[in-house]
Amino acid sequence: MDVAALTARAVDAYNTSHTFARDVLSHRLAVDDANAAHALVAIVTLLAIVVAFRVVFGVGGAFAALASGPGSRSKTYKPAVLLLGGKGCGKTALWQGLKYGEQRFRTTTSVEANECGDAVVVGKNSRGREVTKSHVRVVDVPGHAKLRKEALRELARARAVVFVVDSVSFASERKEVAKFLFDILSDESFQTRKIPLMIACNKCEKLTAHPPDFIRKRLEREIDAARAADAGSLPEMAITAAQRRANAVAKKKRDKYRTLCQRPGETFTFDAFTKASRRPGVVCDRVSAMKNQLAPLCDFIVRVT
């Protein structure tokens, strides 16, 4: 509805109230005094103006809310600790441990994010003192490959990222896991906002679990390979000169982040990445959602929130 239509409605409301006050009130209520009739007209006219303003500004407020879109709501969100990782690595189980302090329900592959804004996290700060953080917002983001783009969009509202790895099946899934982590590390929001990162090696209670040092080194090797393969990828198709210029600008911006702050020929390591980007060091430690052994994770959250 446009402004002209709203104005027309306001005029109609005024005319209706004026007619009601002049004809109905003065005749049916036997108001013979002309001054009294005029007073009634004035009162009802004022009421009509108030109603008209309520109509105009009420509808205008609704249009403003619609124009802001669903994405504007996220701007008011409290920055969250994101639990990211492939499917089946135990993100939802860790989320339950942080929210409830125990496993309340059996987990399956998530298709929607699990969120809580009232987690109470007890851990040690950088000075080794035990600190309690309340009202921590934790978001468990689905890890299915088809939902990977949605997961990366969540980085725009992240306070920290916990990348969960299944330390039992890591050897067979290392390439896919490393590719996902590479996409996170090369994300513009992740780099420009210097978001802290922890690699949480879950399921450490099992005998076949790989140690964190092994997982860290293999991830570095696979990320370096993914970075090299990405550098040799074919450019996007372009027909016109304008498309070629646009592709060149996009590629330059993309390459800026996809190099992970490394010089050509330099081998990727998490230490080199954090030093070059001047960000907090990457934490890699073991956790167990099933045994509720979350001390390293809680320490990380306390230090970055």
**What's the pLDDT at 89?**
93
**How far is residue 138's CA from residue 305's CA, in Å, rounded to a whole number?**
11
**What's the pLDDT at 143?**
74
**What's the pLDDT at 228?**
82
Considering the four listed CATH numbers 3.60.21.10, 3.30.300.30, 3.40.50.300, 3.40.50.9100, the one that applies to the domain covering 77-304 is: 3.40.50.300
Mean pLDDT for back-to-back runs of 10 residues, the chain (305 residues): 60 63 56 58 68 51 42 58 93 94 77 87 94 94 76 87 96 94 92 95 96 97 88 58 65 71 84 90 95 96 94
**How far is residue 274's CA from residue 280's CA, in Å, rounded to a whole number?**
6
Contact 141, 84 (CB under 8 A): yes
DSSP one-letter string for 45-69: HHHHHHHHHHHHHHHHHHHHHHHHT
**How far is residue 50's CA from residue 274's CA, in Å, rounded to a whole number?**
61
Helix (H) or strand (E) holding 223: helix 212-231
Nearest Cα neighbor of 301 from 190, 218, 291, 285 is 285
Residues paired with 197 in a beta bridge: 161
Helical packing angle, 241-258 and 212-231, nearest 10°: 160
Residue extents of the structural domains in the chain? 3-68, 77-304
| Cα angle 303, 84, 300; round to 5 | 15
Neighbours of 83 (CB within 10 A): 26
**What's the pLDDT at 72?**
41
β pairing state of 158-166 and 130-140:
unpaired
**How far is residue 154's CA from residue 183's CA, in Å, rounded to a whole number?**
13
Contact 37, 25 (CB under 8 A): yes
Nearest Cα neighbor of 142 from 166, 111, 117 is 111
Write down the number of H helices and E strands in the chain: 11, 6
Over residues 225-248, the pLDDT tens digits come to 988 887 655 455 556 776 666 666
